[in-house]
Amino acid sequence: MNDEATHRTVDDHREAAPRRLAQLDRAEALRLLGTVSLGRIVFTQQALPAVRPVNHFMDGEDVIVQLHDGGTLESIVGPTHAAGVVVAYEADVIDPETHIGWSVVVTGYAHRITDDGELARFAARLRPWVEDPAVNAALRIRPDLVTGLQLTA
């Protein structure tokens, strides 16, 4: 990129309308989360933070994430985590040009779901990332903490 293009890009961002940041209440944040199907789950892997993009849907206030055989997420809610594990889940819609949009983060306990009836219902609502995945469980994230931000012009 030449100097002129660099200055033009910087100048274009300076000319954008100022944005305002507003806090979203819990109900609105969860409503917005339900309007998208892609987010990022944050969890601990080998004592370090890890992030994975995943598909989700809302079941009431709970976030449902599908698990695949042998996947990293499957290991975070194994038999040694019967009480659940703390995770965060984030999704957003932010326009890359205007930087207007929203971001929601829920933090809570993730529990493995293995009930065949629930899994069948969930499998019909989640679009897998890969063709013909071996789906044997799902995560239910019960949000304890919900934060949402909205950027407006």
Classify residue 44 by its DSSP letter. E
Which pLDDT score, from 0 to 100, does residue 124 have? 74
- Residue pLDDT, tens place only, 9-25: 444 554 566 889 999 99
**pLDDT higher than 90, residue 115:** no
CATH class of 18-152: mainly beta
Q: What share of the chain is helix, strand, coil (3-state, %, to 5)?
A: 25, 50, 25
CB atoms within 10 A of CB 65: 23
Each domain of the chain, given as residue ranges in start order, spans 18-152
* Whole-prediction pTM: 0.80
Which pLDDT score, from 0 to 100, does residue 133 have? 58
Q: Are residues 150 and 132 in contact, defined by beta-carbon separation less than 8 angstroms?
A: no
Which pLDDT score, from 0 to 100, does residue 68 have? 67
